[in-house]
Structure 1
Amino acid sequence: MTSETKRTDAVTAGKRNETGTDDEPDALRHLIEGARVVLWDFDGPVCRLFAGHSAERVANDLASWLESRGLHGLLTDAERESLDPHFVLRAVDRRHPGSDLVAELEERLTQEELRATASAMPTPYADPLIRTWTAVGSRLAVTTNNSPRVVREYLASRGLGACFSPHIYGRTQELSLLKPDPHCVHRALNAMGAAPATALLIGDAPTDLLAARAAGVPFLGYARNERKGKLLRDAGATTVVDSLEPVLRLLRH
């Protein structure tokens, strides 16, 4: 058991420290009770995809592959040093949108993500929360910047595929539509016939919050560490948990 699984009281800590209030559990309860459709970001809320397969190494490998093709100048120094492979992919797409180069780079990233599923670490409490939400009649979808192939493989490995199928909305060849664009959120809502106000998006990054906000969907932030929590709150997230255990506990009551 990780230390994250033990931090069950921290749902109130962020807001109490900042405002001196203790109203975040009420906000969390309100979000859960209003959710008929739950949209999950994948890498973070469902699992740590790159727990055993370094995202930094993947980003460096993508940059090195571009350099091996004589495209060293395609990335700025900051982009080459990025720890996020999606950052590298977006950078190339901005300069060569829809190109064969971008398609090949995206496929290379997908293959790395597929390899990462073998060592991905389930987010504490995510599996039982997914099963419980399904059992009480809510419908679930994944809205992610990862490849939908990767999501389906991971969910199948955990026996969770039926909880989401067929509602997996991930990265397409149109990389400009990655979150923070709300494209994948709109796809999920439209396919499920759901009004934005009846949905809830669980995400761990400001891009998730911005996509939810653009689509008019309530947002629950999940932050496995203080850095991620600060990024979410600085972006405007008002309800952030550092464990999914309080969500599961409220849902079971």
Structure 2
Amino acid sequence: MDQNEQFEAARQSEADYHQQFYEDNEIFEEGTWMAEPGPVVMEMLERLLLHKDELQVLDLGCGVGRNTIPVAERLKGTLSRVKGVDLLDDAVEMLRNNAKEFGVEHLVEAEAADVENYPIPEDAYDFIIACSCLEHTSSKEAVEQELDTMKAGTKMGGIHCITMSTDVEEFDRDTGDSTPGLIELNQKSEEALAMLDRKYEDWKVLIKNTDAQSIEEVKDERNIDFRCNLITYVAQKIQ
């Protein structure tokens, strides 16, 4: 299998998994990985609100709104806007429905698009969220290009909140076999962190850590533990 075939196989596998997961589980359902928003996302939102009353927010790889909806709820009563972008058409439609259910449809805009090729206007956003998103691109070069686009699209004082799965492996709970994770871009933690440090050398890095993570999944009709080192990287534009 060549590199392009491997990418397409990983892209289809990830799409199938997320499609089924969103069909089987409600947003904020206890016991799932979308039971609550990312704590660091909400922490950085509060940091921004110390200095601004209204925010323009972009949530890349938003899914059905795990982060989008709570951010929009916090921004109720303002002229803020929260835009969610995801590859899956069904996820985007579910996000729109969730925004209506939680009473934030007037703040939320949802768009189906491949994040890797998504255009971001310059100086458009105060807060860009890219949680479990950048590992679903085609190459390291694509990640670097996307980070450049994100940086150019951020207002002075704006914040990027990034989480990225690295060193991904899949442990088959039935057979006991462990194999490299079938994900579009499976980087080593050290490589990914070095890239992020290089890209954000002119920004203020607020958070940089790596934590081992294991999530039970049913993927490609297998019962697996999705194991990875999860990078959390948060940086603020200061010049």
Whether TM-score is above 0.5 comes out as: no
Q: Between Structure 1 and Structure 2, which shows a larger proportion of strand residues?
A: 2
Q: Between Structure 1 and Structure 2, which shows a larger proportion of helix residues?
A: 1
Q: TM-score range with shorter-chain normalisation?
A: 0.3 to 0.5
| Structure of greater relative contact order (alpha carbons < 8 Å, 6+ residues apart) | 1
Structure 1 or 2, whichever has the larger Rg, is: 1
